[in-house]
Chain A
Amino acid sequence: MRDVAIIGVGANPRWGELWGQSLRDIFVEAALAAIDDAGVDHLDGMYVGCMSSGIFTGQEHLASLMSDYLGQKHIPATRVESACASGGLAVKSAFLEVASGYRDIILAGGVEKMTDVSGGEATFALGTAADGEYEGYHGATFPGLYAMIAKAHMARYGTTHEMLAQVAVKNHANGMLNPMAQYRSEITVQQVLNSVMIAEPLHILDCSPITDGAAAVILCPLDMAKKISKKQPVKIAGVGHATDTIQLAQRPDPTWLESTALAAEAAFKMAGVSRKDIDLYEVHDCFTIAELAVIEALGLVDKGKSGEATLKGRTARTGDIPVNVSGGLKSKGHPVGATGAVQIVELTRQLRGEAGERQIAKARRALAQNMGGSGGSAVVHILEVA
């Protein structure tokens, strides 16, 4: 396999309710930003991660639509879907195409246009990432599934409502420093606990929002990156990808995200590094409990200790294991198909030293974890300064 570098990244200037822009506009805007950032004049291929444009906007066949509107008619383009891990899967797919030697300059992006439908329809669309016949049929919602993970975590490990709330407080504080974040507002633990209940114990401020947005990265062989790009190349050092049962009920321990643990193990092995070598993490905090369960599955803290570590500030921007310095899904927004791609955008900016006020000093290596459903799929990337 060839070494692969990221030479361009892009996203919309700000995520949120982008009523003035269509599905294609949002994606093309982000992809053009990535192309401009890379300084390339053509693409050899592209991957578009998207969970549910069919339900959200009535549009499928994004491979053709997006390559055409990106001014890249006729290139081989592929849409990939793995629920909320679609963006991460697009990056992995592009990585494989470059690493294999098949093609050189590949764009990997993600997009979701979620605000053209009502809240009820959006809830339905997101619910399709669960098992429709054995979870949805009984009245399960996505917050409901994560709430069951939270209840089990609280009962087993003594995790508290305040520990959950602190994840949201931390990520909102981080999002204050990110110009593209949908919600740039500080919140307090008390505000989270006083906010409306969605699925006990998760309040609305424990949940990531409904968001329109897109993000894209450009990959090429590392050898080529050094010749064609003026930017600091960022190498994709490790890639891990795993699946698990789609049904939460069928996992032996509902608090344990095995797909994330397996994907991380594979990525660390491939990169030949360990957790102490990682300077910052972007993880899939679709709900506050998700960030807690993820940092345990990644092995950053012991099982059951994530809440305590969060309260102590270990995962804050200034802590010893900074998690979601971008604001995470919670503050930045969660356009489901784009989330995995923007994690790579954020970490590339950090490793280049371009992250402005939220820059982690001397960041050399970073990890992104993107997850589908209630943990039915997970993609992990380890990036490093080349």
Chain B
Amino acid sequence: MPSANYTREIPQRYRLEASRCVKCGQVHYPPRLICPGCRSRQFETVALPSGGKVVTYTIISVGPSDFAAEVPYALGIVELEGGVRLMAQIVDVPPEKVSIGMPVTLEFRKLYEEGKAGIICYGHKAVPA
């Protein structure tokens, strides 16, 4: 990933910044330029809460090469308090102990290294609450 691409995603990746539609109140993650609910283009930046629960998940046994050292890993959809859903790995728990409905908290973690000379990519992972 070129560094420009990486850098511009930092507000949402590092700080979980989302856009809240000023007109209808819907919160979008990642931030959008037009609200799919009411087509408004006015937003305010809000930070997402870190608590939520697992909506669904899988245990990846054959992963992309950047994640070769991680397999098997649990990856799921997490619904945060307030209703925003996002994808995240579920860690600090044996993958076979993960379950749908499990309460989790998002924590800032290292996700992968971009090859030997590349940048280290950070983001959020879910851990048991």
Is B60's CB under 8 angstroms from A155's CB? no
Asked if B88 and A138 make an inter-chain contact with CB atoms under 8 angstroms apart, the answer reads: yes
Check if A70 is an interface residue, CB within 8 A of chain B. no
Q: Mark B106-121, 1 if CB is under 8 A from A, else 0.
A: 0000011000000001
Q: How many residues of B contact A (CB 8 A)?
A: 31
The docked-state distance in angstroms from the alpha carbon of A247 to that of B64 is 18
**Smallest distance from the beta carbon of A114 to chain B beta carbons, Å?**
16
Specify which chain B residues have a CB less than 8 angstroms from the CB of A120 in the assembled complex.
Answer: 64-65
A19 at interface, CB cutoff 8 A: no
The binding surface of chain B is classed by DSSP as strand
Contact: A200 with B61, CB < 8 Å?
A: yes
Pair B63/A151 contact, Cβ less than 8 Å: no
Instruction: Tell which of A142-150, A256-264, A265-273 binds the partner.
Output: A142-150
The answer to whether A141 touches B100 (Cβ under 8 A) is no
Say whether A123 faces chain B, with CB atoms less than 8 Å apart: yes
A139 near B67: Cβ-Cβ < 8 Å: yes
A contacts with B: majority SS: helix
Interface residues in A204-230 (C-beta closer than 8 Å to B): none
Shortest distance from the beta carbon of A164 to any chain B beta carbon, whole Å: 13
Assess the B73–A139 pair: CB atoms within 8 A: yes
Asked if residues B121 and A144 are in contact (CB atoms below 8 Å), the reply is no
What distance in Å separates the Cβ of B33 from its nearest Cβ neighbour in chain A?
15
B111 and A139 contact, CB distance less than 8 A: yes
Minimum distance in angstroms from B52 CB to a CB of chain A: 11
Which of A127, A136, A198, A250 has its CB near the most chain B CB atoms (within 10 A)?
A250
List 20 contacting pairs A-B, 8 Å CB cutoff, sorted by A: A124-B64, A137-B13, A138-B75, A138-B87, A139-B60, A139-B64, A139-B111, A141-B60, A143-B62, A144-B58, A148-B75, A148-B76, A152-B56, A199-B58, A199-B60, A199-B62, A202-B58, A249-B77, A254-B55, A254-B77
Of all A-B residue pairs in the complex, the 7 with the closest CB atoms, nearest first, are A147-B58, A152-B56, A200-B59, A249-B85, A139-B67, A249-B77, A148-B56
| Residues of chain B whose beta carbon lies under 8 Å from any beta carbon of chain A | 9, 13, 30, 55-67, 70, 73, 75-77, 85-89, 100, 111-112, 121, 123
